[in-house]
Amino acid sequence: MAQVFPRYVNVLTWIVIGGVVLGASTLGIAAMVFARTPYATHTQIALSQPIQFSHAHHVSGLGIDCRYCHTSVEDSGYANIPPTKTCMNCHSQIWVGSKMLEPVRESYRTGKSLEWNKIHRLSDFVYFDHSIHVTKGIGCVSCHGRVDQMQAVYQNGTLLMEWCLECHRAPERHLRPRDQVFNMGFQPKDLNQADGSPHTQATLGSELRKKYDIRSLIECSTCHR
């Protein structure tokens, strides 16, 4: 019986199969890379806000503690956005005629809240509690970066699962004393070990992990409830 297809078709078939496999692999890798880019994760992007609020000025310049505005961060799952009254505690006395702050004054007069654009958006299927992280000695800077140096706040971490797991697998890399959680500039070397030598993050983290009874919680149910 005569051969239906010429022999080169066998080679062509393998080339096509190889091209499909290679193309699918390339697309898969490209998708994984794209998912980690700032464009996809929204890191390093400062959103437009109703007021040009500078954390650098208020935190570094004026020395205002995080908890003055984010009052619920120590005992709640959420770090609240401060009500307009908090702003007016100061701005009823200073910068009272500033055009930039007119939306704040209007909000205070009318009782209508300012509509801030949310920076850190976790997926609906992710459970996160600020209070437990603060209680266990995780500093604000570990997740939010040096907010005290930001003129406009942006998302510092990717918020991807792998980013969270990096800390959950080895929490000692980020631990600090509870009274230093809100100190943006804290360094382990600021504290001494029992023998008088300065701490490193490794020695301090190991010590605090035992002291605060911290476990490596990497089970799915920890965040997906």
Contacts of 20 (CB under 8 A, 6+ apart): none
Q: Which residues contact 154 (CB under 8 A, 6 or more apart)?
A: 43, 44, 45, 46, 47, 119
Give pLDDT tens digits for 59-101: 999 999 999 999 999 999 988 999 999 999 999 999 999 999 9
C-alpha–C-alpha distance, residues 214 and 132, integer Å? 11
Same domain, 157 and 51: yes
The span from the CA of 168 to the CA of 180, in Å, is 20
Residue 2 has pLDDT above 70, yes or no: no
Return the pLDDT at 39.
87
User: Does one domain contain both 144 and 201?
Assistant: yes
pLDDT of the residue at 123: 87
Q: In which element (H, E) is residue 48 found?
A: none
Shared domain check, 64 and 13: no
pLDDT digits (tens, 9 = 90+) for 33-48: 888 888 889 899 898 9
The pLDDT, as a whole number, for residue 33 is: 86
Q: Is the pLDDT of residue 54 over 90?
A: yes
* Ramachandran angles phi, psi of 198, nearest 5°: -65, 145
Task: Residue 151: name the closest of 217, 84, 58 by CA.
Answer: 58
Angle at 52 between CA 51 and CA 53, to 5 degrees: 95
Same domain, 20 and 56: no
Q: Output the pLDDT for position 1.
A: 56
* Residue written as token pair 């911290």: 214
Q: How far is CA 60 from CA 141, 164, 225, in A?
A: 14, 27, 38
pLDDT at residue 27, rounded to an integer: 87
Predicted model pTM: 0.83
pLDDT at 36: 87
Least reliable range by pLDDT among 16-20, 150-154, 182-186: 16-20
* Per-residue pLDDT at 23: 87
- pLDDT score for 16: 83
Determine the Cα–Cα distance for residues 2 and 121; give it in Å rounded to an integer: 66
The one-letter amino acid at 73: V
Shared domain check, 132 and 23: no
Is residue 108 situated within a structural domain?
no
Kindly tell me if the per-residue pLDDT of 162 is higher than 80.
yes
Q: Which residue, among 151, 64, 97, has the nearest Cα to 105 in the 3D structure? A: 97
In total, how many domains does the chain have?
Answer: 2
Whether 47 and 30 map to the same domain: the answer is no
pLDDT confidence of 12, banded at 50, 70, 90? confident
Supply the range of the domain harboring residue 12.
Answer: 8-34
What CA–CA distance (Å, rounded) separates 123 from 225? 12
